Amino acid sequence: MKVRGQAQVPADPGFAEIVTLIQAARDRAYHAVNTALIDLYWQVGEYISRKLAAAEWGDGVVTQLAAHLANTQPGLRGFTRANLFRMRQFYETYRDDEKVAPLVRQLPWTHNLIILSQSKRPDEREFYLRAAAREQWSKRELERQFAIALFERAVLTPAKVSPVVRQSHPQALSVFKDAYLLEFLGLPEGHSEADLHQGLLARLKTFLIELGRDFCFVGSEFPVQVGKQDFALDLLFFHRGLNCLVAIELKVGRFEPEYLGKLSFYLEALDRNVRKPHENPALGVLLCASKDDEVVEYALSRTASPALIAQYQTQLPDKAMLQAKLHEFYLQDLAARGSNREEGRGGPP
């Protein structure tokens, strides 16, 4: 509280360093406690699993165990009958997966339960475990990613990128999406580009979560000067992992091939006038309301620009329909692999 008549002494620059040390120590302590807790649940789940598998215990014994813990360990939480069976399921799900098992220790128990209960396939579990650990989603955001069918969309519609992006930024394929869900903006039908632009700025924190953890906001209507002319780039970000500027141009209509020309112009200007010597060449994203994938493929195939084409959606997708398409996709993939094996064994032509 500021005292009247008393000058406020500016904080010593060293104070910020102390705050950083405290926050880092808190983070380490939280991760250590979380890892120990997940290890405990794993061990309890393993013990129960072995007892039940050996027929030494029946389900009723687990109920008795929950009651015993409640009576003998006052204040102990999380060891109800339902949770004890979840610990067993947790252990049995991941015990034989050496690649995925270490990931579960990076997430809180609530996150693990969400992924365990809502994932239908091992590769879907792995996808969300890795994404949640990388992006550090909150519980609410993780639930949103399931609601918007992130896994189904990632498998069925991978990001549309130019050949230059594949060569210069191959890791960008795992960073960008084919479609971004902007349902949080509440945009009406027939919205303008200004409505979209202003909405993204107003909900910038949420938009950054949708983009991904390593995106940092640089500016809106970022000024670009070439010759004696002034231009304004809709949105400019920096991606820490890719170590490059990312320009985003907004279009409220369908993607048109000529849009790539303007984006390429902006990227050239950024590389010449804005990019720092240690940074990689800039990437560009055209974020459109809709796109024809065949038109996108033709447009990107010959462009020399490191560009990506994505669309934004203002309504949640039909998850049931996407799951049905994913099921069909896996069936076709399974049939194709079976056909390839037959050909490899010298089957009929």
Quote the domain boundaries for residue 271: 159-317
**In a shared domain, residues 237 and 267:** yes
Q: Is residue 40 situated within a structural domain?
A: yes
d(CA 159, CA 174): 8
Write down which residue in 152, 172, 196 finishes a domain: 152
The answer to whether 247 and 233 are in contact (CB under 8 A) is: yes
The mean pLDDT of 133-152, rounded to a whole number, is 94
pTM: 0.81
**In a shared domain, residues 114 and 134:** yes
**In a shared domain, residues 130 and 279:** no
Number of domain units in the chain: 2
Span between the terminal Cα atoms of the chain, in Å: 84
**In a shared domain, residues 124 and 172:** no
**In a shared domain, residues 310 and 183:** yes
The mean pLDDT of 275-301, rounded to a whole number, is 95
Q: Is residue 73 situated within a structural domain?
A: yes
Q: How confident is the model at residue 347 (pLDDT cuts 50, 70, 90)?
A: low
Q: Which residues, including other chains, have CB under 8 Å from residue 307's CB and lie 6 or more apart?
A: 161, 162, 164, 165, 260, 263, 264, 267, 283, 284, 285, 286, 300
Which of 110, 122, 127 is CA-nearest to residue 37? 110
**In a shared domain, residues 132 and 236:** no
**In a shared domain, residues 266 and 301:** yes
**In a shared domain, residues 168 and 312:** yes
Q: Is residue 343 situated within a structural domain?
A: no
d(CA 174, CA 25): 31
Which of 158, 153, 156, 108 is CA-nearest to residue 129? 108
**Predicted local distance difference test score (pLDDT) of residue 25:** 85
The answer to whether 244 and 238 are in contact (CB under 8 A) is: yes
Q: Is residue 125 situated within a structural domain?
A: yes
Q: pLDDT digits over 162-190, tens only?
A: 999 998 888 998 899 999 999 999 999 89
**In a shared domain, residues 140 and 169:** no
**In a shared domain, residues 171 and 306:** yes
DSSP H helical ranges for 73-202: 81-94, 101-104, 109-118, 122-135, 139-147, 150-156, 163-168, 193-202
Give CA angle at 257 (267, 272), nearest 5°. 10
Write down which residue in 152, 185, 218 finishes a domain: 152
Q: Is residue 322 situated within a structural domain?
A: no
**In a shared domain, residues 184 and 107:** no
Q: Is residue 341 situated within a structural domain?
A: no
Q: Is residue 58 situated within a structural domain?
A: yes
The mean pLDDT of 231-252, rounded to a whole number, is 97
d(CA 103, CA 100): 5
Q: How many CB atoms lie within 10 A of CB 50?
A: 13
Kindly report the CATH number assigned to the domain that includes residue 186. 3.40.1350.10
Write down which residue in 117, 152, 187 finishes a domain: 152
